[in-house]
Amino acid sequence: MPSKQNALFLFLFFVSIVCACVQAQPLNRNSAKALTPVAQHTYFFVGGSYGGDPAKPLMNGQMFVEKLTPVKRRHPYPILLIHGAAQTATNWMGTPDGREGWAQFFSAQGYDVYMVDQPARGRSAWQEGIDGKLSTFDAKTEESLFSVPEQYMLWPQAKFHTQWPGNGPKHGKIGDPIFDQFYSSQVQFVASETETETLIQHAAAALLDRIGPAIVLTHSQSGTFGWLIADVRPKLVKAIVAIEPSGPPLQNEIPFGTDKARVWGVTDIPITYDPPITDPSQLQVEQQDKPDKPDLARCWSQKTPAHSLVNLRVHHERSHGGIRLRTNQIQACTASITPIPFLRASGWFLSEPAIGMTAFRVR
């Protein structure tokens, strides 16, 4: 097997190990060993344009990029880490109880690591009068979704959640120092998904044009971004690793309501299909009569003959208790937008590991 394919499989193995350890091991802020220091820690900006009042132009749409260069580079492709809603690149730099983050882990394995603040968020400035309305998560919502969902039970699998660090009577809630540290990191974000996806697609394409081929790792809200980035730069995205990606196709599911969403199947803005479509109404879809298993949602999928997503390859990880597990669509239904027989015929590898579905393709 070519060395670059070996490198991709090795990276996907690393991701599986990281996710499995998070699932299986109790968290202890003193248990992590110090990782290899980085050789260089730098930053720059990509994308953006001047807009607003011509007499007083402002830059908008630019994206802050932070880079960790390893002491010894051992892999041909860098990793691009894209955070989820209300987060910034600090999401990857450490945990709220003081442990090192994914960025340091992958740098220690010899990867160049790039992290971003999504356009119009954090260090990628939001411009009043140009960028759209902002939204945020209140602290109680964060408790119910992320830190102690097992106490709110907004979806059946929340009872399996065990991974919030620390202990004590306020564990995972307002007043818990670890929760307070986490909530302090949350920031406002652009409310419109279509605006957000458009901004990140343009900026991430500019980043890949600058740094070359990369592995794109997305999380939660940024799950849709990976598909869109690969769609416009298919030769530069060598793999997509989607950690509990946003979804499911075509419709939200609890705890986010049941409104129609991602009208282009897996995204809110246009994405390339074969045969081509010019309007999302051209996707002929149907919903399952019943879910694959109890406590899962019913998939929406395309009717046959289906339109294929031609520019995607993905490795998908999810947790047993995470907010995305209820949506069967994140596991099986996302694959059903381009049916599994097509994925296999197009060079995809599909499996069912202990913590979720894997579907990825390498060139």
Chain centroid to Cα 92, Å, comes to: 12
Q: What pLDDT, in 10s, does the model give residues 205-258?
A: 999 999 999 999 999 999 999 999 999 999 999 998 888 888 788 888 777 777
- Please tell me the least confidently modeled range out of 153-162, 267-276, 277-286, 329-338: 329-338
In a domain, 142, yes or no: yes
In a domain, 300, yes or no: no
In a domain, 262, yes or no: no
Question: What is the token pair recorded at 88?
Answer: 């910034």
Calpha distance 301→332 (Å, rounded): 10
In a domain, 143, yes or no: yes
pLDDT band at 196 (very low <50, low <70, confident <90, very high): very high
- Please tell me the least confidently modeled range out of 38-42, 98-102, 258-262, 324-328: 324-328
CA atoms within 13 A on the CB side of 8: 22
Of 220, 222, 246, 308, catalytic: 220
pLDDT of 6 reads 59
Calpha distance 299→287 (Å, rounded): 6
The structure tokens 């894997």 sit at 358
Range of the domain at 180: 137-186
In a domain, 96, yes or no: no
How many domains does one find in the chain?
1
pLDDT band at 327 (very low <50, low <70, confident <90, very high): very low
pLDDT band at 93 (very low <50, low <70, confident <90, very high): very high
- Does the pLDDT value for residue 17 go beyond 70? no
Percent of the chain residues topping a pLDDT of 90 = 57
pLDDT of 329 reads 40
Calpha distance 57→51 (Å, rounded): 5
332 vs 237, residue with greater confidence: 237
In a domain, 116, yes or no: no
In a domain, 149, yes or no: yes
Q: Is 220 a catalytic residue?
A: yes
- Does the pLDDT value for residue 339 go beyond 70? no
In a domain, 112, yes or no: no
pLDDT of 34 reads 55
Predicted structure pTM score: 0.85
Question: What is the token pair recorded at 215?
Answer: 């592995």
